[in-house]
Chain A
Amino acid sequence: MRVFKKNSNIFNLLSEGISEGIIVVNTEKVIVATNSSAMEMFGYEKDELIGKHLDILIPKRYHHNHDAHVEHFIAKSGKRQMGHDLDLFGISKNGNEFPVEAGLNPFELDGTTYVMALIIDITERKQKEIELSHWARIFNESLNEIYVFDAVTFKFVNVNKEAQRNLGYTMGELVSMTPVNIKPKLSRREFRELIQPLLKGDLEKLKFETIHGRKNGSSYPVEVHLQLSTIGENKVFVAMILDITERKNYTKKLEKTVDERTKQLTEALTVEKELNELKTRFLSLVSHEFKTPLSSILTSITLLGKYTQTEQQEKRDKHVFTIKKKVKYLDSILNDFLSVERLDSGKINYKIETFLLSKIVNEVIYDANMLLKAGQKIRYPENIDDIIIQFDEKTLVLALSNLVHNAIKYSPEDSVIDVQVTIEENKLLLKIIDEGIGISEEEQKHIFNRYFRAENALLTQGTGIGLNIAKQHLENLGAGLEFSSQLNKGSIFTVSIPQEHKT
């Protein structure tokens, strides 16, 4: 105390002029001088602290540490800031602890060593630090990717952990990179244009979707929320990034589901349409293809009823024949239709048998003879008596009768229909050659399409089914049906059946 007396005026003048608290202690850590800022800081009355041990201002738990600290400091006797890298606390008269920063300044006066401590209450600063670290934690621990990059150079200033993790780049790598480096779909120019409204102040926030490229070459879709901000003097952009892989996957899945359902519906609709078409065709067929033969049957029956006399047997026979013939014709059309149904539903049971070709050819030609126009003739194939084949009998009958019936239908009166059988390279070829109206070149490619009727055949009765089903059945059994035709000259239809056994 004594030592300060002569300088007290100067000390007072200096110490009262600063906002830091000043506490001077001797080597015994007894307080020898204070200023009013220190009094205020620690909540003591004027001079109340003089002569008190410094420990009164330090929370008990730090006493031991502090002693060692101060001793060490005095021994080293250097001017230094305390509280660097360690938390210092003061305690006020009423027991409140508060963080402080202390600068120590040893000096000698009249041979005695003193230490002057400059104390700053850093409660507010600590509070700010806590807040800052709070935000820093949010920044770093956010599950969204957050990027801060310079508004001029675009270089990353800070990138949070999640972003580093997802991208696979370290902060060290990222500081020399820009958002363009991780956005493979955006060029620098495009990116600059995109953020222009933010720089100009036209927009406060910008949201867009793009792709992020990872260090390992893979990529993921993102939604970018971009905002202009400042760090000190520098303008920076803050980008919040949502990895929207899941959302995209969901959208894709949804799109796929919609696509699939649409496809299913379209298919169902097509099937429905086909069924309707079949129904319409069938009704039309009933009208056009059934009514004429039915008229023949009905008139034949009417006429049969009129021929009651014994000598009219010949007339009766003729009408019975007509009725038989027309019933067979109607039956064959019906079989065609049933065949379509069976082909479409896959319910076909083929039965491969070994039989004489001549048996089938005879059957087909015999039935076809009933349908011949005036003067038409079917030329029977030669040398087929010994040919034995292995095939489905019904299919062969169906195919051959369709072809022979077509030849009759589309050929004029007094023409010849030639049926030829040859064997080439283990293949049995059955050719039906007519001198009919033929098929125009443009229409040849459609001739096997179901329900297709050639332009020049429209005035002739027909369903457009026969060739279609004949070909399908034959092909199901490994056989084939081909043709060549010339308009107004005639057609040649060839059935080819692979044969291992031949005679």
Chain B
Amino acid sequence: MKTILLIEDDRALRENTEELLELSGYMVLTAPNGKLGIELAKEKIPDLIICDIMMPIIDGYGVLENISKDEKTKQIPFIFLSAKTEQKEIEKGIKLGADDYLTKPFEEEDIISTIESQLAKAKLMTGKHDKTLNDHGVSEDELQSLNEL
């Protein structure tokens, strides 16, 4: 079971998203602010991080920067989930190193397909770069799923 870390300050949305992801078969960790999110990421090394941008204490950009610096966490696919929906804000997020950007409000299908794509891509990348873990390289299935993105 894949573990997803959800960092979101709005309690209702955090709980709802957690519930949705759990119903889709993911194990979900949650944090109400950037600071706790970073701590949790380093401690649990989730398979994927979904992170809000406007949050107290440390915002989403701060979380991404921190996580990218750490060898243990920099490989983790990182998805922004934000109310900032203007093109230039999305570009800023991607430029900073986010793998994808989800805008609020989002549909169940949006978040699930985004998560699946990123997980598939991550698996592929891991296979490519981390030879010690996988001698066989990329599998046919993985290639297939990548092409479908």
Residues of A with Cβ closer than 8 Å to B? 287-300, 302-303, 306, 319, 322, 325-326, 373-374, 413, 459-461
User: Which of A288, A291, A299, A459 lies in contact with B17, CB distance below 8 A?
Assistant: A299
CA distance A371 to B80 in the complex (A): 24
CA distance A298 to B103 in the complex (A): 13
CA distance A413 to B104 in the complex (A): 25
User: Chain A contacts of B32 at CB under 8 A?
Assistant: 373-374, 413
CA distance A413 to B86 in the complex (A): 31
A185 vs chain B, min Cβ distance (A): 61
CA distance A325 to B103 in the complex (A): 22
A302–B57 contact, CB under 8 A? no
Which of B5-13, B43-51, B70-78 forms contacts with chain A?
Answer: B5-13
User: Chain B contacts of A294 at CB under 8 A?
Assistant: 104-105
Q: Can you name 13 extra interface pairs (CB under 8 A) apart from A296-B12, A299-B108, A460-B54?
A: A288-B54, A288-B84, A291-B103, A291-B105, A294-B104, A296-B10, A299-B17, A299-B20, A299-B105, A325-B12, A374-B32, A413-B32, A461-B54
User: Chain A contacts of B9 at CB under 8 A?
Assistant: 460
User: Chain A contacts of B17 at CB under 8 A?
Assistant: 299
User: Chain B contacts of A288 at CB under 8 A?
Assistant: 54, 83-84
Within 8 A of A (CB), among B97-116: 103-108
User: Which of B19, B23, B104 lies in contact with A291, CB distance below 8 A?
Assistant: B104
User: Chain A contacts of B13 at CB under 8 A?
Assistant: 292, 295-296, 299
Chain B at the A interface: SS class: loop
CA distance A306 to B9 in the complex (A): 25
Query: What are 7 A-B interface contacts by the 8 Å CB criterion?
Result: A288-B54, A296-B13, A298-B107, A299-B16, A325-B12, A326-B12, A460-B9
A295–B54 contact, CB under 8 A? no
B20–A292 contact, CB under 8 A? no
User: Chain A contacts of B54 at CB under 8 A?
Assistant: 288, 459-461
B57: nearest chain-A partner, CB-CB: A459
User: Chain B contacts of A287 at CB under 8 A?
Assistant: 83-86
Within 8 A of A (CB), among B4-43: 9-13, 16-17, 19-20, 23, 32
B105–A297 contact, CB under 8 A? yes
User: Which of A322, A373, A460 lies in contact with B16, CB distance below 8 A?
Assistant: A322
Chain A at the B interface: SS class: helix
User: Chain B contacts of A413 at CB under 8 A?
Assistant: 32
B16–A292 contact, CB under 8 A? no
User: Chain B contacts of A306 at CB under 8 A?
Assistant: 23
A409: nearest chain-B partner, CB-CB: B56
User: Which of A298, A373, A460 lies in contact with B11, CB distance below 8 A?
Assistant: A373
User: Which of A296, A374, A460 lies in contact with B56, CB distance below 8 A?
Assistant: A460
User: Chain B contacts of A293 at CB under 8 A?
Assistant: 10, 12
B108: nearest chain-A partner, CB-CB: A302
User: Chain A contacts of B85 at CB under 8 A?
Assistant: 287, 291
Q: Is B142 an interface residue (CB 8 A)?
A: no
B82 vs chain A, min Cβ distance (A): 8
User: Chain B contacts of A291 at CB under 8 A?
Assistant: 83, 85, 103-105
B23 vs chain A, min Cβ distance (A): 6
User: Chain A contacts of B16 at CB under 8 A?
Assistant: 295-296, 299-300, 303, 319, 322
A318: nearest chain-B partner, CB-CB: B15
CA distance A366 to B110 in the complex (A): 35
B93 vs chain A, min Cβ distance (A): 14
B14: nearest chain-A partner, CB-CB: A296
Instruction: State whether A302 and B20 are in contact (beta carbons under 8 Å apart), knowing that A291-B105, A295-B104, A374-B11 are contacts in the complex.
Output: yes
B55: nearest chain-A partner, CB-CB: A459
User: Chain A contacts of B56 at CB under 8 A?
Assistant: 459-460
A322–B12 contact, CB under 8 A? yes
B111: nearest chain-A partner, CB-CB: A299
Instruction: State whether A303 and B20 are in contact (beta carbons under 8 Å apart), knowing that A292-B10, A298-B107, A459-B56 are contacts in the complex.
Output: yes
A299: nearest chain-B partner, CB-CB: B16
B54: nearest chain-A partner, CB-CB: A459
- Count chain B CB atoms within 10 A of each CB in A296, A326, A413, A461 and give the residue with the most: A296
A300–B83 contact, CB under 8 A? no
B11–A303 contact, CB under 8 A? no
B32 vs chain A, min Cβ distance (A): 8
CA distance A325 to B15 in the complex (A): 14
User: Chain B contacts of A322 at CB under 8 A?
Assistant: 12, 16
A298–B105 contact, CB under 8 A? yes
Please list the 10 inter-chain residue pairs (A to B) with the smallest Cβ-Cβ separation, ordered nearest first. Answer: A299-B16, A291-B83, A291-B104, A295-B105, A296-B12, A294-B105, A295-B104, A296-B13, A298-B105, A322-B12
B109: nearest chain-A partner, CB-CB: A302
User: Chain B contacts of A374 at CB under 8 A?
Assistant: 11, 32
User: Chain B contacts of A300 at CB under 8 A?
Assistant: 12, 16
- Count chain B CB atoms within 10 A of each CB in A287, A294, A297, A459 and give the residue with the most: A459
